Amino acid sequence: SLSESVKLNRLSDYNSGIVEVNLDRPEAKNAIGKDMLSGLRHAFEAIDRDSSARVVMISSSVPKVFCAGADLKERKKMTAAEVHSFVNYLRSTFSLIEELQIPTIAVIEGAALGGGLEMALSCDLRICGENALLGLPETGLAIIPGSLAPIFNSAGGTQRLPRLVGKSIAKDIIFTGRRIGGRDAMSMGLVNYCVPAGEAHPKALEIAREINQKGPIAIRMAKRAINEGIEREMVSALDLEEECYEQTLNTKDRLEGLAAFAEKRKPIYTGE
């Protein structure tokens, strides 16, 4: 176990590849305190080193909550210097999640608020139940999402949210701090799928299994091309696409894909 509140599981029933980071701090609704944060950090560092991992799901075993954000009780006891180093560690951990080479899926049942939503925004995909409540309540606490020392590539809610849903919707969400239900989140493009309450986990597994069957190098290169390309101007972005495409050419998996097509069978990819 990495910490009391974070568990790292490999889903054995899907032939490895799919790993799950499970949040389990029921007494604080999965609020991110020091222990939870170091658990998250170690889990994602372990996944980063694990060359057999193909897809990550972040889920909660606490009913009706994904993550209540920063631990506001612990925060109240911290000195300014402690808050500063905690928030920097939080931000670099979210960047680690965002920059993981393999796809990440946030499985949101119930509340994903403040840092909890920012963690979900660091993921590639978000799948929620209809009971989900998503919001950035920070302005109500007289701070802004992901505040403190802007460091390139490690900003939080004010940066990732508008890139996802556009400036106008992001401003509505951040200025009002309103909690948004699953269906509304879906219509705003804040989540990829909204399913009946309790079904987010099976839906996420379905998506994870689909991704798990694709060429692993192709998936990694597609993620890189999209994430890095969107920050570049078009000519340079297209160069990046070409660079990423090249990485998929000299692979055993590409030949396996062509062979499987010719032989009318499912390809078996090894990530080589």
Residue numbers annotated as active site: 70, 115, 118, 138
Candidates 45, 61, 73, 258: give the one binding ligand CO8 (CB under 6 A): 73
Candidates 20, 109, 124, 138: give the one binding ligand CO8 (CB under 6 A): 138
Say whether residue 68 binds ligand CO8 (CB under 6 A).
yes
- Backbone Cα Rg of the chain: 19
C-alpha span between 48 and 28 (Å, rounded):
28
Stretch that binds ligand CO8, among 28-36, 95-103, 206-214, 216-224 (CB under 6 A): 28-36
- Minimum CB distance to ligand CO8, residue 63 (Å): 9
For tokens 């999402």, what's the residue? 145
Helix (H, G, I), strand (E, B) or coil at 151: coil
Q: Percent helix, strand, coil in the chain (nearest 5)?
A: 50, 15, 35
Candidates 114, 182, 215, 216: give the one binding ligand CO8 (CB under 6 A): 114
Is the distance from CB of 33 to CB of 87 less than 8 angstroms? no
Site for ligand CO8 in 148-187 (CB under 6 A): none
Site for ligand CO8 in 46-65 (CB under 6 A): 64-65
Residue type, 187: S
Is the distance from CB of 61 to CB of 218 less than 8 angstroms? no
Stretch that binds ligand CO8, among 66-74, 121-129, 168-176, 263-271 (CB under 6 A): 66-74
Which residue lies nearer to ligand CO8 by CB, 20 or 74?
A: 74
Beta-strand runs (E) in the chain: 6-10, 18-23, 55-60, 65-67, 104-108, 111-113, 125-129, 133-135, 180-181, 193-195
C-alpha span between 62 and 233 (Å, rounded):
42
Site for ligand CO8 in 29-48 (CB under 6 A): 29, 31
Candidates 46, 78, 141, 197: give the one binding ligand CO8 (CB under 6 A): 141
How crowded is residue 153: how many other Cβ atoms within 10 Å of its Cβ? 11
Stretch that binds ligand CO8, among 93-101, 133-141, 194-202, 242-250 (CB under 6 A): 133-141
- For residue 152, give both structure tokens: 């390139």
Which residue lies nearer to ligand CO8 by CB, 17 or 137?
A: 137
Stretch that binds ligand CO8, among 17-25, 100-108, 137-145, 194-202 (CB under 6 A): 137-145
Helix (H, G, I), strand (E, B) or coil at 174: helix
* Interface with ligand CO8 (CB under 6 A): 28-29, 31, 64-65, 68-73, 83, 87, 111, 113-115, 137-138, 141, 143, 146-147
